[in-house]
């Protein structure tokens, strides 16, 4: 399997927990798990990069991502495989569910990378999401506030599908 780097931004800890669980299931070393609040933007040692963010308020990027997104915009992602994941609240914010993942997608989609890890919307309850493109979510979306009983299964299924694409 290729060398994987996981970059996440987390305010409440939900996205960090998801990132750590993904890392465990993909056998990613802790040194390759990066909090964007402290991470650099040298992605050269990774052939696969996972970006994760929680969505705050009405569809906003997580605070640390607000600063980090500029680093991703200027980074060379040519030839890399990129997968996205994030956390949101599909009940209280059903019309902006996991929009931060959609914002990251908009940043990386034209950077010469291969986007992997799309997810069916089946089983999700929400009204609208910027992470919805061509009838699928652009990555793994998690709602630990309202659908925590589905988190483990969603992560496991996503990781198994990712392994086939990596």
14-54: per-residue pLDDT in tens? 999 999 999 999 999 999 999 999 999 999 999 999 999 99
Is 80 exceeded by the pLDDT of residue 1? no
Residue 137's pLDDT is 98
* Sequence ranges of the domains in the chain: 4-165
Give the residue-averaged pLDDT of 117-137. Answer: 96
What is the CATH number that goes with domain 4-165? Answer: 3.40.50.360
pLDDT score of 2 more than 90: no
b/e per residue, 79-94, with b = 16+ CB within 10 A? ebbbbbbbbbbbeebb
CA–CA separation, 132 vs 83, rounded Å?
14
Confidence of residue 57 (pLDDT cuts 50, 70, 90): confident
Q: What is the pTM of this model?
A: 0.96
Give the β-pairing of 132-133 and 136-137. antiparallel
Mean pLDDT of 100-110: 97
Structure tokens at 165: 């694409």
- Residue 154 pLDDT exceeds 70: yes
DSSP 98: T
């Amino acid at each position: 399997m290729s060398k994987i780097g996981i970059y996440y931004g987390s305010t409440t800890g939900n996205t960090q927990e998801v990132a750590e669980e993904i890392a465990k299931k993909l056998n990613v070393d802790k040194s390759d798990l990066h909090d964007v609040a402290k991470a650099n933007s040298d992605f050269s040692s990774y052939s696969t990069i996972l970006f994760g963010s929680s969505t705050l308020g009405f569809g906003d990027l997580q605070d640390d991502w607000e600063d980090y997104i500029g680093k991703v915009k200027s980074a060379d992602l040519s030839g890399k495989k990129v997968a996205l994941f994030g956390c949101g609240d599909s009940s209280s914010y059903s019309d902006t569910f996991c929009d931060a993942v959609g914002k990251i997608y908009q940043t990386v989609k034209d950077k010469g990378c291969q986007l992997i890890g799309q997810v069916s919307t089946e089983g999700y309850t929400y009204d609208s999401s910027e992470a919805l493109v061509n009838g699928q979510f652009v990555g793994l979306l998690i709602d630990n506030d309202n659908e925590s009983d589905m988190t483990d299964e969603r992560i496991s299924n996503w990781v198994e599908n990712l392994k086939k694409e990596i």
